[in-house]
Structure 1
Amino acid sequence: MTMTSLAASDPLSLPALLQWYLDAGVDEVIGDEPLDRYLLSQQVVQAAQAAREARQAERIAGQTRPPMQAGGRPTAQASDGLVRPTSVGLAAAPAQARETAAHVAAGCKTLTELRAAVEAFDGCALKVTASTTVFADGNPAAPLMLIGEAPGRDEDRQGVPFVGESGQLLAKMMASIGYDRSRYYITNVLPWRPPGNRTPTDQEVATCLPFLTRHIELVQPRVILLLGGLPTKALFARPEGIMRQRGKWRAYESPGLSHPIPALATLHPAFLLRQPGQKRLAWRDLLEILKKLRGLGVHPG
């Protein structure tokens, strides 16, 4: 007889069951009802198998496009001092999923439509294991747009980006230059939490990238602040780590933008929680953001 069945037959054993859970490391409730994670894992495997079969069918039909170039063209230095993005260096996503995402995203004319499209999209297996879709927060009319990596545990529960411990640190960082969340807009590369907060795969990023691209086009921010290495890699296809990427201005361009947007990468708040000695570098980056905004005639308050 299992511990759960024993508790069901004898209510007096419930304290023993709870103690057993605590000893096993189960110390919090994450849902109102039980969730069969084994079944979810099977669904992820089935989705991956379906994607493999689709790619095989395309190869047989001779319709598979050549893989995207991993390196990309040399980075171009513009007269305005901004570095232009190179070609995409992420591994090619399953063709059908990414093409569907691109088609759906391109048809969205408002943020409301884009949110609905992301919530309805089933081409990324991360959606199966996530509790909710985390779209964005803040003021979409603000001149500053922040782009993070992926939702964490707290974000997955609440459906809002940067609400956990790293989000609290981010709020303090932005407040230090006079910006609260009503004065900037914030989203992530991925709208769904990777299981166990693992690093997203290149295919997962590439599949969701059309939604992020369209997101930026609809918001049309004056300045972009990239939080961590993932958004920098996704938007600029840079292979270097974040320590080499941070503090450098780049120009983000896409067909739906009327003009290039200056973008700066900085260290992710989660990294700063682990390495507080690096906060001085993040402070320099925030001062650069403030200087750029002021140069564009944007002032906090």
Structure 2
Amino acid sequence: MSQFSDHQTLDPATLLAWQVAMGADEAIDDMPVDRFAPAAQPQSAAGEPAFQPPNAVSQPPARERATQPRPVVAKPVQKMEGAGADVATQVAAAANTLEELQAAMEAFDGGLLKRSAKSTVFSDGVPGSDVMLIGEAPGAEEDQAGKPFIGPAGQFLDRMLASIGLDRAKNVYISNLVPWRPLGNRTPDPAIVSMCLPFIRRHIALAKPKVVVLVGGVSSQALLDTTNGIVSLRGKWRTIDIEGHNFDVLPTYHPAFLLRQPLKKRESWKDLLSVKEKLGLL
């Protein structure tokens, strides 16, 4: 038999300690209250029910009014998939500067993708640089800070760039194909890529880099319009046409992949030297 089976044999201090141990750590009233019992009518001094005007509406006590549910006004339903690729194309084309493009993207209905993200990760580095890097999508740290490539992979990317004399604070411009962090860092699906592609194409057109480095498979496949994997794409220069201008692009491995596969760093080093040669720095 439990030592607490007969509560009448226990002193109040022991009972209180047991109630606290069970989680009852807050006193609401001195006595229990039956909330389901009908409210008692007010009594007059003679013991008769007090007179109420015919149109009077009885009000529950203040404590009970506070616990009653409040009506919630329904909000307009927001589409899960966002405004879509056609609207994104129109919005992007209307931007004439990088500042206008950023403002347009921040105002754009990106659906659940955008609503689940903290920031619109637009860019970092120096606009107008000869080199523009385009990654895939922000991670958790990038979403928190609102800048691309600042986590461990970004720090490794900075070291890679420094090895050929490049620096995001001086002569590199960085952005992403997808400006909003996908839930759970998932790989962006085709619908997301299709919606975001007009923005990054317009971004390239406004930034006017001499060289575009596509970092990772997702950005490489999207901008090159191919289903080939990054292993077959990397290290090979291609030309893409954006709004009547040709841009030299080079796909390469994502630094996060290199951190998991260090043996691939040798191939990325060749890509970096190829960029340096393209810029006439060798």
What TM-score comes out, normalization by structure 1 length? 0.67
Once the 2 structures are TM-superposed, how far is the Cα of residue 123 of structure 1 from its aligned partner? 3.4
The residue that corresponds to 1:144 in the other structure is 131
Q: Distance in 1 between matches of 2:228 and 2:108?
A: 31
Root-mean-square deviation over aligned CA pairs: 2.2
Letter in structure 1 aligned against 2:93:
A
Letter in structure 2 aligned against 1:196:
G
Letter in structure 2 aligned against 1:157:
Q
Write the mapping of 1:66-215 to structure 2, written as runs, cut at 5 A. 97-181=84-168, 182-215=170-203
Letter in structure 2 aligned against 1:210:
P
Once the 2 structures are TM-superposed, how far is the Cα of residue 151 of structure 1 from its aligned partner? 0.2
Q: In the TM superposition, what whole-angstrom CA distance separates every residue of 1:37-60 from its partner, at most 9, and x where no partner exists?
A: xxxxxx9x9623xx6xxxxxxxxx
Q: 2:78 touches 2:111 (CA, 8 Å); kept in 1?
A: no
Q: 1:124 touches 1:208 (CA, 8 Å); kept in 2?
A: no
Q: In the TM superposition, what whole-angstrom CA distance separates every residue of 1:53-78 from its partner, at most 9, and x where no partner exists?
A: xxxxxxxxxxxxxxxxxxxxxxxxxx
Letter in structure 2 aligned against 1:282:
S
Q: Distance in 2 between matches of 1:184 and 1:168?
A: 14
Q: Distance in 1 between matches of 2:200 and 2:24?
A: 47
Q: 1:124 touches 1:207 (CA, 8 Å); kept in 2?
A: no
Which of 267, 270, 273 matches 1:281?
A: 267
Q: Distance in 1 between matches of 2:142 and 2:92?
A: 23
Q: Distance in 2 between matches of 1:238 and 1:210?
A: 16
Once the 2 structures are TM-superposed, how far is the Cα of residue 125 of structure 1 from its aligned partner? 2.3
The residue that corresponds to 1:47 in the other structure is 79
What TM-score comes out, normalization by structure 2 length? 0.71
- Provide structure 2 residue ranges, at least 5 long, that are not aligned to the other structure: 1-22, 28-74
Q: Distance in 2 between matches of 1:229 and 1:166?
A: 15
Once the 2 structures are TM-superposed, how far is the Cα of residue 236 of structure 1 from its aligned partner? 1.1
Q: In the TM superposition, what whole-angstrom CA distance separates every residue of 1:162-208 from its partner, at most 9, and x where no partner exists?
A: 00000000000000000010211000000000111111100001001
The residue that corresponds to 2:14 in the other structure is none
| Consecutive aligned runs of 4 or more in structure 1 exceeding 3 Å deviation | 6-10
Q: Distance in 2 between matches of 1:169 and 1:112?
A: 28
The residue that corresponds to 2:256 in the other structure is 270
Structure showing the higher helix proportion among its residues? 1
1:200 is paired with a residue whose SS is: coil
Q: Distance in 1 between matches of 2:98 and 2:242?
A: 17
Q: Percent identity?
A: 50
1:47 is paired with a residue whose SS is: coil
